[in-house]
Amino acid sequence: MKVDKKALIRWKVYLDRSKMYIGYINLFMMVTIFLGAIKNTGIGKFLIENVYVAIPVLIILFIFFALLLGYWDSRLGIRSEEMRNLSSQNPIQMEILDTIRRIKEEQEILIEKINELKKSN
């Protein structure tokens, strides 16, 4: 049985891209379950009675905490470190990086030779 590697990789990319959207659905389901679980508590009754105030406040709080988490992630460099580790395992990206390094080294050698030629003239 022959496996089409390109098709498998394409499917994996599609699945990876869909994770974000599945995360939104998962968040909505968790909020729904959470609200269902607290509806008989004092806080739940308050939220249900004041739904037109509670929903905008909860959305604003969610956005604030999401931005705060994103800021912490950027500040600590967790995502960038993750991407660096992933790219170091990608042979195509490593080949590109090696080529760029080689070009820079050759460029520096050429610049030195040009400067030597200018000085000798």
Give the domain range for residue 116.
Answer: 91-121
Please enumerate in sequence order all residues whose Cβ is within 8 A of that of 88, keeping only pairs 6 or more positions apart, or say none. 94
What integer best gives the mean pLDDT of the chain?
A: 86
The single-letter code of the amino acid at 75 is R
More confidently predicted of 87 and 57: 57
The model's pTM? 0.49
Whether residue 64 is found in the same domain as residue 99: no
Interval 32-45: pLDDT, tens = 898 888 888 888 88
The full 3-state SS of 33-69, as one line of letters, equals HHHHHHCCCHHHHHHHHCHHHHHHHHHHHHHHHHHHH
Asked if residue 44 and residue 22 are part of one domain, the reply reads: yes
Counting the structural domains of the chain, the total is 2
Residues 35 and 73 reside in one and the same domain: yes
